[in-house]
Structure 1
Amino acid sequence: QLQRCNGEMTIEKLPDKVLQEIFSYLSPYQVLLVGQVCRRWKSIANSPSLWQYVSFRPNYGGIQVTNQDYFMHLIGTRFTELRVTELATDLITPNILHEMAAKCPRLYALTLDFSTAMQLHDFTDLQNFPSRLHSLTICLSENIFLEGFLRKVYTFISSVEVLHIIGTYEKVEDEEEEVYETVNVHKLKQYMPNIRVVNLWGVPFITDDHVDAISSNCAHLECLCINYCTKVTGSCLRLVLQRCRKLRSLHLAHATLDDKVMQTIEWEKTRIEELNICGTELSSDTLKLIVTRLKNLT
């Protein structure tokens, strides 16, 4: 209970556990600020339980890390209960990934942002990587190939069920500009036997052949997103829907879908409950045909 001081309730009298509960509603940046109020608040603000969901991508509202050595120290003290985190390009290093693998056993969702990378770190000595991930997000660079890095982590990602690959759609200004296949999506998927969700957003090199390859031996797939993958015409969908019997959510927004191809698909035999085909310029006849055949649409 709150104690009274001069007839008024004061925040100084709140127990540490109550203050910690209050701080849990603050953003990581706000927790840093309240930690500057006094020594007691700083001690509470440093509690690992307040640092379970943290982004270190300053371009997207995350915390800016200016001292990597001190950051590595914090991984083993303040961030031991980390569950969800996002790393900017300069923080994706062998040492930091090794520390997270060793000191953050509860980490289940990891975002690796390579989108601003001009050059990768040397991952030759990378021997460890978080191995209990449920979700992995990779933000691609326009011209940095990730195979050298991924080759080191393939054996650690078998637990991943949700894969997000964020492409460079928003950066491509010229449609005829040369596009590089900066990640081997099919090979990456092979090391994720339990994958349920695949989200390829705005990946400029993704074609129907890639989607077809991804769907092979992917019996647990429930959600497939290929929004803004403009090289996808839909020719892969017939086989994808036959292979992935559990597929319920299909997102094809702004793909270059072909009317004739979409009309030949046996939609009535699928379990699709959610379909996104906005911005695809399909004809009204095709839209009517698809919608009327989808028995499970919600």
Structure 2
Amino acid sequence: MDFISSLLLSFLYVVFSNSDEAPINKKLPKELLLRIFSYLDVVTLCRCAQVSKAWNVLALDGSNWQKIDLFNFQTDIEGRVVENISKRCGGFLRQLSLRGCLSVGDASMKTFAQNCRNIEVLNLNGCTKITDSTCLSLSKFCSKLKHLDLTSCVSVSNHSLKALSDGCRMLEMLNLSWCDQITRDGIEALARGCAGLRALFLRGCTQLDDGALKHLQKNCPELTTINMQSCTQITDEGLVSLCRGCHKLQILCVSGCSNITDASLTALGLNCPRLNPSSPQVTDNTLVQLSIHCPRLQALSLSHCELITDDGIRALSSSTCGQERLTVVELDNCPLITDVTLEHLKSCHRLERIELYDCQQVTRAGIKRIRAHLPEIKVHAYFAPVTPPPSVHGGGQRLCRCCIIL
């Protein structure tokens, strides 16, 4: 619980009491009470829902659930949770993150799309059960969708992009990283229907070729960000074409695209004056290069490398050095690292030690899973003690999931 939520919750307990008969509950208009509740986070709203019938109604009002991120609350949720959230929130919901929710599938996402037609931002990163069926549902019901993250949804194909092109024409950001079934035909369909696309992430889409970039050049003049890391079929021909049509480019990643030469750099200089210089700090690109050029790497310390993400570890763990030689990885104080990194590191069969101090998004459950897969591994991590929630009626209080599983 953040400071603001904690402060507001304390205020609510003191002022409103826990009785439906409290005078202030009767005198203040519902609109004002809902405004107060709107500042609370998801977990705090769950706690408030237990206090009384009046608070239950206020806490679970759909207007309080416009933005939901379940990653830090309950990552291993089932599909019925998503369905019940969608029924509770309805048209109020604007942003939903199901990042890492491995059990969520197409059936629950269809129910979600039918109920939450005003959704604008949807994160399905790592939802590996998702297929083209989900994108068909989004296309049919969610025409206001602007940001969609399908990272590692490996069953997604060109059919998804054709559907999004037909029904989600307001799309501005799409992440298709590691969706390796995507080809130029899918990008062609997407570009024709989503001309306002501003950011496109295609890391690991190894089937893409120069033809895909030519379609973007013709149809997506608003493009400012494109990441084609490890798109190994891309050559100067495609990149030069892209530069000539997308003059607003600011961020471009072609790490691992070994066919790029000075010709592409010249085209960038001539056609993309807004392009930002690369950051000198250590990023995932560093790990990609290490995985390619350092096959004998045995120990790696990334302590305090705050830009390293799960994608960088993925590249490292799938390389020759990762699978055959790597014995030590130090990731302490890497705030973007999550349990997904531990899933990637399972393929590092010689791994002996991982340092995870102050990696706030790594959980005990994730550590337990990698220990089950690599029983000899030593994992060093620290979990700050959880602050006890305020007591109700003088006793202890458990975390309520009523708003999620009703």
SS at structure 2 position matched to 1:54? strand
For the Cα contact (< 8 Å) 1:253–1:276, is it kept in 2? no
Shift, 1:44, TM fit: 0.8
Shift, 1:79, TM fit: 3.3
One-letter amino acid of the counterpart of residue 189, structure 1: L
Report what 1:38 is aligned to.
Answer: 52
C-alpha distance in structure 2 between counterparts of 1:121 and 1:273, whole Å = 34
C-alpha distance in structure 2 between counterparts of 1:33 and 1:135, whole Å = 30
Q: Does 1:134 align with 2:146?
A: yes
More helix by percentage: 2
Structure 1 vs Structure 2 CA RMSD: 3.8
C-alpha distance in structure 2 between counterparts of 1:233 and 1:120, whole Å = 26
C-alpha distance in structure 1 between counterparts of 2:34 and 2:79, whole Å = 26
Report what 1:116 is aligned to.
Answer: 128
One-letter amino acid of the counterpart of residue 58, structure 2: I
Q: Provide the identity percentage.
A: 13
Report what 1:52 is aligned to.
Answer: 66
Report what 2:171 is aligned to.
Answer: 160
> Are the structure 2 counterparts of residues 74 and 264 from structure 1 closer, same or farther at C-alpha, using a change threshold of 3 Å?
closer
In the TM superposition, what whole-angstrom CA distance separates every residue of 1:40-87 from its partner, at most 9, and x where no partner exists?
Answer: 22111111111111135x4x655654462x753552343330111234
Report what 2:118 is aligned to.
Answer: 106
For the Cα contact (< 8 Å) 1:146–1:182, is it kept in 2? yes
SS at structure 1 position matched to 2:51? coil
C-alpha distance in structure 2 between counterparts of 1:149 and 1:219, whole Å = 18
In the TM superposition, what whole-angstrom CA distance separates every residue of 1:157-202 from its partner, at most 9, and x where no partner exists?
Answer: 222122222337xxxxxxxxxxx43566414423533233132153
Report what 1:76 is aligned to.
Answer: 87
Shift, 1:132, TM fit: 1.9
TM-score scaled by structure 2?
A: 0.51
Shift, 1:110, TM fit: 2.2
SS at structure 1 position matched to 2:142? coil
Between 1:82-91 and 1:30-39, the stretch displaced more is 82-91
State which of 95, 103, 106 in structure 2 corresponds to 1:93. 106
C-alpha distance in structure 2 between counterparts of 1:152 and 1:239, whole Å = 26
For the Cα contact (< 8 Å) 1:167–1:200, is it kept in 2? no
Report what 1:27 is aligned to.
Answer: 41
Report what 1:181 is aligned to.
Answer: 181
Q: Does 1:260 align with 2:262?
A: yes
Q: Does 1:270 align with 2:272?
A: yes
More strand by percentage: 1
One-letter amino acid of the counterpart of residue 212, structure 1: L
TM-score scaled by structure 1?
A: 0.67
C-alpha distance in structure 1 between counterparts of 2:152 and 2:118, whole Å = 25
For the Cα contact (< 8 Å) 1:233–1:255, is it kept in 2? no
> Are the structure 2 counterparts of residues 237 and 260 from structure 1 closer, same or farther at C-alpha, using a change threshold of 3 Å?
same
Shift, 1:11, TM fit: 3.4
For the Cα contact (< 8 Å) 2:113–2:141, is it kept in 1? yes
State which of 10, 15, 33 in structure 2 corresponds to 1:10. 15
For the Cα contact (< 8 Å) 2:132–2:156, is it kept in 1? no
One-letter amino acid of the counterpart of residue 38, structure 1: S
C-alpha distance in structure 2 between counterparts of 1:50 and 1:226, whole Å = 35
One-letter amino acid of the counterpart of residue 49, structure 2: G
C-alpha distance in structure 2 between counterparts of 1:67 and 1:238, whole Å = 44
C-alpha distance in structure 2 between counterparts of 1:196 and 1:121, whole Å = 20
> Are the structure 2 counterparts of residues 196 and 146 from structure 1 closer, same or farther at C-alpha, using a change threshold of 3 Å?
closer
Q: Does 1:200 align with 2:201?
A: yes
SS at structure 1 position matched to 2:144? coil
In the TM superposition, what whole-angstrom CA distance separates every residue of 1:215-235 from its partner, at most 9, and x where no partner exists?
Answer: 232243231221633627661
In the TM superposition, what whole-angstrom CA distance separates every residue of 1:1-57 from its partner, at most 9, and x where no partner exists?
Answer: xxxxxxxx723336454443333233223322221222222111111111111135x
SS at structure 2 position matched to 1:21? helix
